[in-house]
Amino acid sequence: MANLTEISWKEFSSLSLEGKRPYLMQSAEDPMPYHTLFAQQFDRALLDRLCALSNRIRFINKSKEGALYLKNVLAHKRAMLYFSQPSSRTFLSHLAACQILGITTGSVRDAATASEFKGESREDSIRTFSSYFDMIIMRSPEQGLAEKMSWELSNSSRPIPILNAGSGKDQHPTQALLDIYTLVRSFEEKGGLDGRVVTFCGDLLRGRTVRSLSYLLTNFKDVKQIFVAPKELQVSDDVKSFLDAKGVKYELSDDLKAASSVSDAVYMTRIQDEWDTNKGESAKIDTSRFKFGAEELALLGKDAVIMHPLPRRDEIATCCDHDPRAMYWRQMRNGMWIRAALIAATFGHERTIMECGY
């Protein structure tokens, strides 16, 4: 089994994602992630296992006895939530996931309150956290930081797992997991997710959730992806090349109405203007045709779903909120369960929970 202690940072960082994958898993026999950094770490078998574990945890948690059992599973572990970029849902849902499993947590949400403010490097801060905690759940505006820290920690005297909760414009693997879990649940009694059409709309260039979900969807058979965006914010070449290499069908479009009428899922995203190189440049783009409202809702199939990683601005009109096809509220709750499943599995407790008597 490949191990991060056997490879230099220089060699590791120059590998393709496919090449990096084996270094991040628990063992060759069990390819469950140790460090969770990007969506390409998950294949269909792993996704199926994590969805099953999420269902199991949510079922066990329904009774007081079951909830107390779960609270004992990782009661001896501590996790650090290190979020140096704004977050509400991702922070709270990881926190709630830790609470379900009995994990004690600590957090830093603002680098200004940490020693980084005194000039400490992020690398040193994270090393410090590893002295007190057993896992780091981190969000950073810096694209490769979680990866670098995984290598650093694996090569330190206290190797602990890192879970990427959003890295720059690049990836948001646990959001993609909850999106897949939501899609799987939405279609489980309607023939499944294979063969479906999924439309992404909005800022597809800078939306990390789009990149991660687009990759994860390639694990399902014959799922077609439609990318609807103004040309300035259309999906990037790395995603298109990945889909080409996988032989996945996709289409670029600027017509949300047409896409809505043929889609099983419409995944809306907000304009990610915090990444503007020149302040205000996103505001100059005409995004008026990339909003989901009453007209798009009327065109959507009766079994289709509307999704959004949230936060929302005006990309989905509030008139859609009470429609049974609006999945964005349920997505949030699903996130808590699948994050609990991922954390439990990272600590090697998948079988314990799957096979417990509850």
Active site includes 322? no
What residues are paired with 292 via a beta bridge?
316
Element (H, E) at 339: helix 328-346
Among 270, 307, 331, 340, binds ligand ASP (CB under 6 A): 270
Q: Which is nearer to ligand ASP, 33 or 309 (CB)?
A: 309
Tokens of 324: 């049974």
Catalytic one of 21, 36, 58, 90: 90
> What φ, ψ does residue 72 adopt, rounded to 5°?
-95, -20
Active site includes 90? yes
Active site includes 89? yes
DSSP state of 16: -
Q: Which is nearer to ligand ASP, 5 or 88 (CB)?
A: 88
Cβ atoms < 10 Å from Cβ of 209: 25
Minimum Å gap between C-beta 168 and ligand ASP is 10
| Structural contact between residues 230 and 206, judged by C-beta atoms closer than 8 angstroms | no
Q: Does 94 bind ligand ASP (CB under 6 A)?
A: no
Q: Who's near 296: CB < 8 A, 6+ residues apart? A: 256, 257, 260, 266
Q: Does 172 bind ligand ASP (CB under 6 A)?
A: yes
Give the strands of the sheet with 104-108, arranged side by side.
104-108, 78-83, 135-140, 162-167
Tokens of 268: 């809306």
Q: Does 309 bind ligand ASP (CB under 6 A)?
A: yes
Active site includes 172? yes
Minimum Å gap between C-beta 42 and ligand ASP is 18
Minimum Å gap between C-beta 21 and ligand ASP is 22
Catalytic one of 118, 279, 284, 322: 118
The residue of the chain with the least Cβ separation from ligand ASP equals 309
Q: Using CB atoms within 10 A of its CB, is residue 94 exposed (0-12), middle (13-18) or buried (19+)?
A: buried
Q: Does 168 bind ligand ASP (CB under 6 A)?
A: no
Active site includes 118? yes
Minimum Å gap between C-beta 150 and ligand ASP is 20
Minimum Å gap between C-beta 310 and ligand ASP is 6
What residues are paired with 136 via a beta bridge?
80, 162
Q: Does 211 bind ligand ASP (CB under 6 A)?
A: no
Q: Does 169 bind ligand ASP (CB under 6 A)?
A: no
Q: Mask 132-151, x = binds ligand ASP (CB under 6 A)?
A: --------------------
Catalytic one of 77, 94, 122, 139: 139
Q: How many helices (H) and strands (E) does the chain have?
A: 14, 9
Cβ atoms < 10 Å from Cβ of 259: 23
Q: Does 209 bind ligand ASP (CB under 6 A)?
A: yes
| Structural contact between residues 197 and 228, judged by C-beta atoms closer than 8 angstroms | no
Among 70, 100, 147, 166, binds ligand ASP (CB under 6 A): 166
Minimum Å gap between C-beta 30 and ligand ASP is 29
Q: Who's near 77: CB < 8 A, 6+ residues apart? A: 101, 102, 103, 104, 134, 135, 347
Binding residues (CB under 6 A) for ligand ASP: these are: 90, 166, 172, 208-209, 269-270, 309-310
* Catalytic positions: 89-90, 118, 139, 172
